Amino acid sequence: MIQKVNRVTSLSGTVALPGDKSISHRYAMLAAIAEGASEIGHFASSRDCHSTLNCLRSLGIEISESGETVAIRGRGLRGLSTPDRMLDAGNSGTTIRLLSGILAGQPFTSSITGDESLSSRPMARIAHPLRQMGAAIESRERERPPLKIKGGNLKAIRYKLPVASAQVKSCVLLAGLYADGITAVEETVPTRDHTEIAVREFGGTVRNSGDWIEVDPDPKLRPRRLAVPGDLSGAAFFLVGAALVPGSILWIPAVGLNGRRRELLNYLMRSGLDITVENESVEAGEPRGDLRVCFSRELLQGKLPPIRGEETASLIDEIPVLSVLGAHAAGGLEISDAQELRVKESDRISAIAANLRAMGAEVAEKPDGLAISGGRPLRGADVATRGDHRIAMAFAIAGLSAGGETRIHDAECADVSFPGFWSALKKIC
Ligand code: S3P
């Protein structure tokens, strides 16, 4: 499907976000290994989170869905059953990497794979620690999926993360629930801590001890009734839209504002965007609040603060749309330390550079980032999304302030994280 986007005069209205993708995956997996019936409200409608639900069903878990509410009948830490087919994580890195941690703890052998994009993504980062814990893991060449995991009898390890990755951290912590002692992970760069928060909410024990995050084994996880906040990474597209289109005012209610994800707001505010956060609260350990964002002319007149170091890890999913913002800002934007973007759903550094250039921007590609010159008016173009949801949505936003028509190819890939994105966008244009 090709979605056409044209320049708009302003954006206004309310944006309804899907439930947070990262949190939904974690709640579903923990509910499945808790003892009894959980109910998760505002569960992400994203295709990725449905991949998680379908994998859990194949592991013998009863799940029913009614609108945005998902009921999961947990069977306890050791209640999963041997799947009779290969588990399919679809496009979802979070599904394959987190679930592999749980599968490594099972006394049976299972296999898990994904679509073409996921099958080309690196799994050595989870296979190494899981093997150290005693799981037998086979993969395709260069540690690509499918993964065949023979689990059980895991040893506790202390593991220093070689990459800044919440997925790897979470994989090891979830495997640690099945280990013979306290498993600990050290991260040199802080990443999203939804797993730590969620394990505690379901009754497990996760501690921060100096630089280490420790998880106790063999908890009796209790079922919960929880509501997932809106996805801040989905809000990012609309925040940047309001930053690009003069006169815009948007209201984005009930957004997840986890401290490790909130850097997006700090960054945009530091850049000069007028964002107010209202009605802040914390539910099940996850902060949330309502956002009001207004266009502010100064932002586009300057140079955006460079994105590098720890900040890159905090903004990793938002870099495609922040690059679009950088191309519009008079002084451009420099992004470094973002080599992880090369192994996301697509090589995002290359996809951003190619599509920005197609729209008339001047961009230099670096091994670990981009130097975007900025200040040139963009023109509509054919956007090759490479089937990557965040590339599709980021360039839809670029199209809102480009001259002429922008055509987003394979636009349905937005459903991977944000079903309803195209109608939400139409509603505020
Ligand atoms: C995620 C972690 C990040 C992020 C992804 C979701 C998670 O990936 O890019 O969209 O839910 O833990 P990495 O852990 O590979 O950085």
Residue 350 exposed, middle or buried by CB count within 10 Å (0-12, 13-18, 19+): middle
Task: Spell out the alpha helix ranges (H) of 192-314.
Answer: 194-201, 232-244, 263-270, 297-301, 310-314
> What number of H helices and E strands is found in the chain?
14, 22
Q: Can you give the pLDDT at residue 375?
A: 87
Query: Helix 166-176 and helix 124-132: axis angle, to 10°?
Result: 20
**CB-ligand 1 contact for 29 (6 Å cutoff):** no
**CB-ligand 1 contact for 167 (6 Å cutoff):** yes
Atom of ligand 1 nearest to the CA of 195: 12
R_g of the chain, CA atoms, integer Å: 21
Q: Render each residue's pLDDT in the chain as its tens digit; 429 residues.
A: 999 999 999 999 999 999 999 999 999 999 999 999 999 999 999 999 999 999 999 999 999 999 999 999 999 999 999 999 999 999 999 999 999 999 999 999 999 999 999 999 999 999 999 999 999 999 999 999 999 999 989 999 999 999 999 999 999 999 999 999 999 999 989 999 999 999 999 999 999 999 999 999 999 999 999 999 999 999 999 999 999 999 999 999 999 999 999 999 999 999 999 999 999 999 999 999 999 999 999 999 999 999 999 999 999 999 999 999 999 999 999 999 999 999 999 999 999 999 999 999 999 999 999 999 998 999 999 999 999 999 999 999 999 999 999 999 999 999 999 999 999 999 999
Atom of ligand 1 nearest to the CA of 316: 9
45 in Cβ contact with 66 (< 8 Å): no
pTM: 0.98
**Candidate of 47, 118, 167 to mutate for ligand 1, largest count of ligand atoms within 8 Å of Cβ:** 167
**CB-ligand 1 contact for 340 (6 Å cutoff):** yes
Rounded to 5°, the CA angle 341-344-347 comes to 65
CA dist 174 → 33, 106, 303, 330, 415 (Å): 11, 12, 42, 45, 27
- 290 catalytic? Reply is no
Instruction: Count other Cβ atoms within 10 Å, centred on residue 206.
Output: 20
Residue 303 exposed, middle or buried by CB count within 10 Å (0-12, 13-18, 19+): middle
What's the gap in Å between 89 CA and the centre of ligand 1?
14
What average pLDDT does the chain have? 97
Peptide bond into 146 cis (omega under 30): yes
**CB-ligand 1 contact for 22 (6 Å cutoff):** yes
